[in-house]
Structure 1
Amino acid sequence: MPIRALAILTTITVLTAARTLAQTYSPNYSVCLQTYGIDGNYIECAYTSLAQCNQSASGRAAQCIINPYFASAQVPREPNRRHPRAY
């Protein structure tokens, strides 16, 4: 009986555990804060502008970087120009 209870408890724990992101960069924000420390470095993508990130980085061993995986990033297109033909 204890083995059955342990198996049920383990199954419930695994199924209800919160999912974690495998990515370092969150695709929801355009700017990330990269922090350096004795315990290790980490990247936190939770900023919408460089000014907002710079306020958090002020006075710390940190720098703000542009998120290369930002979901709303778009590649600029060339303007649609019509060139007159010269004959």
Structure 2
Amino acid sequence: MRKTQLVLVALGVTALAGFATVTPAAARDYPWCAQGGEYDYPGECSYSSYEQCQASVSGRLLYCDRNPRFAYSQVSPAQPRSHRRPRPVAPY
């Protein structure tokens, strides 16, 4: 009886230690998405090449397109420029 309790405690501690060290999976955006059909926008974005995506969508009434999150995250947004000209300072 004592051994059984010890084994159960050891299993519980091991399981708890395993859950404590688990980190969430890192989300990664791939450059190509399968779009259309049952997929909402931007689609199933899990393809690193256009050829991979084409092979996956073949016969599924889907199409491949660039992942907008991947495509637009590479470019930093342009700084808005002022359309107003500075007013000339009158000499005194």
TM range (shorter): 0.3 to 0.5
TM superposition score normalised by structure 1: 0.46
As a proportion of its length, which structure holds more helix? Answer: 2
TM superposition score normalised by structure 2: 0.45
- Could you say which structure has the larger radius of gyration? 2
